[in-house]
Amino acid sequence: MRFHRPRGAELPADWRDLARKHVRAWQRLTDDERDLVAVHVEDLVTGRRWEAARGFEITDRMRVVIATQAGLLALGLDDDCYRDVGSIIVHPSTMRVDRTSAGPAEGTESCGSVNLLGEAVFGGPLVIAWDSASAAARHPERGSDVVVHEFAHKIDMLDGVVDGTPPLVPGPFVDRWIEVNTATYQHLVEHGDRLIDDYAATNAGEFFAVVSEHFITVPDRLHAAHPELYDLYTELYGQDPLDRLHRVPRHD
């Protein structure tokens, strides 16, 4: 990795034009929503370290697209919801990494290589594959977004554990949150789901991150398949993506 820009780098003057051109969801935001996203974009672009994989160079477009997608997830949250994000490392494409995991028998380990589009490290950096992030920004209808996924993990980590119940869940809804998420997760594990990807069955943390992706990218499908789940995520994130999905896109 190589250091790309110091903390305190200026936000590009044309960042809103970059967001409009390269993040399709930007076109359906109201002026007030754009201002809320802007708070997070400025915080992430100017207040975090941005690093590039060896032989790769980060552009203003890359930083703005990634920060805008993260800002979209957080537009209804407090300004410091990404306080655990210290640095953002950008790779050009899918990463091949070596991993050690629990083996098939107790006390054994299994080693091998896995493909990663992104990763959120406890107390550490957030890693993103640029080609996947760029494609998701242009095509949210595909239902996946590595930026939303990894930043959702960072929100989940705010209380020190990855358990699918971030500390930002409103107090009156915690019991209902756990009940509905657990029931949907168990059904996914046992029977699969017509919307939620099987990767979400890995554990509760991955379930939360995948559902957060669907909530932002394909809210109509999530609402149709799991209305109770959708309603809880609107409470958590303080926004209703289904409402803006039906707006006429703006090209200004």
> pLDDT tens, 69-103?
999 999 999 999 999 999 999 999 877 665 444 43
Task: Say whether pLDDT at 6 is over 70.
Answer: no
Q: How far, rounded to the nearest angstrom, does the alpha carbon of residue 40 sit from its chain's CA centroid?
A: 13
What value does the mean pLDDT of the chain take? 90
Lowest mean pLDDT among 96-110, 121-135, 137-151, 204-218: 96-110
pLDDT of residue 1: 41
Asked if residues 7 and 49 have their Cβ atoms less than 8 Å apart, the reply is: yes
**The domain at 2-245 falls in which architecture?**
3-Layer(aba) Sandwich (3.40)
Asked if residues 22 and 60 have their Cβ atoms less than 8 Å apart, the reply is: no
Instruction: Give the percent of the chain with pLDDT over 70.
Output: 88
> What does the domain layout of the chain look like in residue ranges?
2-245
pLDDT of residue 187: 97
In degrees rounded to 5, what are phi and psi of residue 208?
A: -60, -45
Confidence bin at 135 (pLDDT 50/70/90): very high
pLDDT of residue 117: 82
